[in-house]
Homo-oligomer: A and B are copies of this chain.
Amino acid sequence: MTLGLKGTLSLQREGVTIDLDVQSWPAELRFKLTRVGVTGVKKPVDVTRSDGTITLTANFDIYVDLPSTMKGSHLSRNLEVVNEIVEESVRAPVSSLEDLCSDIARRLLTRHEYASCSEVKTKADYFLERQTPLGKKTTEHYLLMATAHARRDSDIALLKSIGVEVVGMTACPCAMETIRHNLDLEGRLSGPDTPIITHNQRNRTTLLIEVPEGFEVEANDLIDMVEQSLSAPTYEILKRADEAEVVKRAHEEPRFVEDVVREILTRLLKRYADFPDQTQVWVRSNSEESIHKHNAEAERITTLGELRK
């Protein structure tokens, strides 16, 4: 798509070499660029897990940086690298989306010899079999995400992460408290464990964690942690008894978005107790408030080390 060259560029086509003159590129434009690449690249990719191979439709953004001495980045190389890695993964299975991204990020630095760092981000639909409270099987939809950053030093340094986006349910503790208090004043509280009404809503929570070298993170565990931190998970099929059960559980665990994030942070600390202090984590919970037209959101961007203090 674009050309990147210092002075001349050679194009072999049917035996012909073309030298393109780009000497005229003015000095005043010689700034380096933070990232140059392609966005919205959709690819089917295979990931091989303990229980078989799954095919994901992944949406990639793929970048390298660009030094001030280069006019353009060779964008078609980004696509070639993705294709090579995806093809190789058919023969030599890749066990995770973050490893696939890492392989791409590493090879980008080999192919873009002028780049000092590379960046790969991807998202894909994902499905898991779940059980409703009363034991019925359902298939639930999630989003997987993964990122990888590579930096050229003496060797290539890699930072990769895996994440999930989970849709679930939050019930508001605040409205519940006020309503309980009001009922109490009116002498209408039948017992301490009577379920009290409140507003509840669809919540969208994102959890992303760095996977340090030599460690492993299972995306399904991340989904579990998020679902346990919400007021209740949501399900595709709920017959009436199951529906009542989900509603009841959500009201037994009312949660602000702040609570959801903190519950997840607590679970992360326990689950990844052996991970190094510098491991980065990002948690965001967004409730599509049923009593407002806007959303409520809480977020923590930090490291496991900070959380351990």
Interface residues of A, Cβ cutoff 8 Å to B: 1-3, 11, 13, 16, 18, 20, 28-44, 55, 57, 61, 63, 66, 71-73, 75-76, 79-80, 83, 125, 127, 139-141, 167, 169, 172-175, 177-179, 181-183, 185, 188-191, 194-202, 232, 234-241, 243-244, 246-248, 250-251, 256-259, 261-263, 265-266, 286, 288-302, 307
Given contacts A197-B197, A256-B72, contact A290 B293 (CB under 8 A): no
Q: Across the interface, name the chain B residue whose C-beta is closest to A169.
A: B290
Q: Which residues of B contact A241 (CB under 8 A)?
A: 11, 13, 178
Tell me which of A197, A237, A243, A294 has the highest count of chain B C-beta atoms within 10 A of its own C-beta: A294
Cβ–Cβ contact A29 & B179, under 8 A: no
**CA of A236 to CA of B40, assembled, Å:** 11
Q: Across the interface, name the chain B residue whose C-beta is closest to A261.
A: B33
Cβ–Cβ contact B258 & A39, under 8 A: no
Cβ–Cβ contact B244 & A294, under 8 A: no
**CA of A98 to CA of B225, assembled, Å:** 38
Cβ–Cβ contact A174 & B72, under 8 A: yes
**CA of A240 to CA of B200, assembled, Å:** 15
Cβ–Cβ contact A39 & B297, under 8 A: yes
Given contacts A28-B266, A299-B34, contact A139 B1 (CB under 8 A): no
Cβ–Cβ contact A291 & B172, under 8 A: no
Contact of A293 among B141, B232, B262, B299 (CB under 8 A): B141
- For this complex, 6 residue pairs linking A to B, each with C-beta atoms less than 8 Å apart, are A2-B258, A31-B300, A35-B297, A71-B256, A72-B258, A83-B237
Contact of A199 among B38, B44, B169, B189 (CB under 8 A): B169
**CA of A32 to CA of B71, assembled, Å:** 45
Cβ–Cβ contact B293 & A140, under 8 A: yes
- A282 CB, min distance to chain B CBs, angstroms: 9
Copies, count = 4
- A87 CB, min distance to chain B CBs, angstroms: 10
Q: Across the interface, name the chain B residue whose C-beta is closest to A12.
A: B241
**CA of A150 to CA of B172, assembled, Å:** 29
Q: Which residues of B contact A41 (CB under 8 A)?
A: 236, 294
Q: Across the interface, name the chain B residue whose C-beta is closest to A124.
A: B57
Contact of A235 among B3, B37, B43, B292 (CB under 8 A): B292
**CA of A57 to CA of B31, assembled, Å:** 36
Cβ–Cβ contact B236 & A79, under 8 A: yes
Question: 5 closest A-B pairs (Cβ-Cβ)?
Answer: A190-B190, A178-B244, A42-B141, A13-B241, A29-B262
- A25 CB, min distance to chain B CBs, angstroms: 9
**CA of A197 to CA of B178, assembled, Å:** 15
**CA of A258 to CA of B70, assembled, Å:** 10
**CA of A237 to CA of B190, assembled, Å:** 31
Contact of A188 among B191, B197, B236 (CB under 8 A): B191
Cβ–Cβ contact A40 & B295, under 8 A: yes
Cβ–Cβ contact A36 & B197, under 8 A: no
